[in-house]
Amino acid sequence: MQLVTTIAEARAALHTARAQSSGSLGLVPTMGALHAGHLSLARRARVECSIVAASLFVNPLQFAPGEDFDRYPRQLDADRTLFAEAGVDLLFAPAAAEMTPPGATTFVDAGELGSRLDGAARPGHFRGVATVVSKLFHIIQPGRAYFGQKDAVQIAVLRRLVSDLNFPVELVACPIVRDPDGLALSSRNAYLSAAERTHALALSRALTTMQTRLAAGETRAAALVAAGRAVVHAQPGIALEYLEAVDPASLLPVETVTPGTLVAIAARVGHTRLIDNFVA
């Protein structure tokens, strides 16, 4: 695996790789601190593409002042080994000044979608995501880009981005990877104390409860959401931010849960904000 840190090096390396292989190029964008969720994206890209590029960039544009940008886990050496083992050919790990040079005045606005659900709690977050993902698409020019279903709002925003701005990229949404007890893997799980980790299980428990009710025939969104909320509220140490059943493209609430409806949850456990979801 080749590691490059500048845009010029990335372009040169991909130029060479493309000259040697006519197949598709897959991109796996990450912020590092890799876990099995990230690696599932890389492995899938390895199976489906002839060239696999990954990016590792803790994007300052998607963190609001006061969020965890400064303490976000950074472990380039370990990540480098993990990406290589997963079969990544090229790792693009730019410094902040390379990707977000001071003085830039052009940004990609995610519009109304960017202010729903996580966007409501994190103003500006999806503008930062949409801007940096657009830059990565321009730099790497992938035919496919792999994202986790865990960040379902991000998927909705990026599907619109690709459609609205005519990027010739196929977005591939990959299933959520969980710990055996149900907790969705996240780089931010590293912030949780042992007690907080137990509290955090209420997110997946709420979703499982809703899935059980749904399987038993309850399709009214309000009833399902009430059942999920009750699970979270019964658990001390966790503050619910949202729990909603929404259309997966518009992110607007639905009254009836049908196949494809996105049921998404966000909650705070201590200082850590966690998200999870399922698609009905």
Residue 276 C-beta: closest distance to ligand AMP, Å = 9
Residue placing its CB nearer to ligand AMP in the complex, 177 or 206: 177
Residue 149: CB minimum distance to ligand AMP, A = 7
Q: Annotated catalytic, 38?
A: yes
Torsion over CA: 207, 211, 216, 222 (sign): positive
Rg (CA), the chain: 19
**DSSP string covering the chain:** -EEE-SHHHHHHHHHHHHHH--S-EEEEEE-SS--HHHHHHHHHHHHH-SEEEEEE---GGGS-TTSSTTTS---HHHHHHHHHHTT-SEEE---HHHHS-TT-------GGGGGSTHHHHSTTHHHHHHHHHHHHHHHH--SEEEEETTSHHHHHHHHHHHHHTT---EEEEEPPPB-TTSPBP-GGGGG--HHHHHHHHHHHHHHHHHHHHHHTT--BHHHHHHHHHHHHHTSTT-EEEEEEEE-TTT--B-SB--TT-EEEEEEEETTEEEEEEEE-
Binding span for ligand AMP by CB under 6 A among 134-142, 160-168, 184-192, 245-253: 184-192
Q: Which stretch binds ligand AMP (CB under 6 A): 32-40, 131-139, 197-205, 262-270?
A: 32-40
| Window contacting ligand AMP (CB under 6 A); options: 13-21, 63-71, 183-191, 223-231 | 183-191
* Least distance between ligand AMP and beta carbon 22 (Å): 27
User: Would you count residue 177 as binding ligand AMP (CB under 6 A)?
Assistant: yes
Closest approach, Cβ 176 to ligand AMP, in A, equals 5
Site for ligand AMP contains 31 (CB under 6 A): yes
Q: Which residue from 55, 131, 186, 261 is in contact with ligand AMP, where contact means CB under 6 A? A: 186
Site string for ligand AMP, 119-148 (x = CB under 6 A): ----------------------------xx
Q: Which of 13, 25, 26, 38: binder of ligand AMP (CB under 6 A)?
A: 38
- The reply on whether position 41 binds ligand AMP by CB under 6 A is yes
Query: How many other C-beta atoms lie within 10 A of the C-beta of residue 181?
Result: 11
Interface pick for ligand AMP out of 26, 37, 114, 248 (rule CB under 6 A): 37
Query: How many residues line the site for ligand AMP (CB under 6 A)?
Result: 17
Contact call for residues 246 and 264 (beta carbons, < 8 A): yes
- Near ligand AMP by CB under 6 A: residue from 55, 100, 134, 187: 187
Write down the catalytic residue from 15, 38, 125, 233.
Answer: 38
Which chain residues interact with ligand AMP by CB under 6 A?
30-31, 37-38, 40-41, 147-148, 150-151, 174, 176-177, 184-187
Catalytic residues: 38
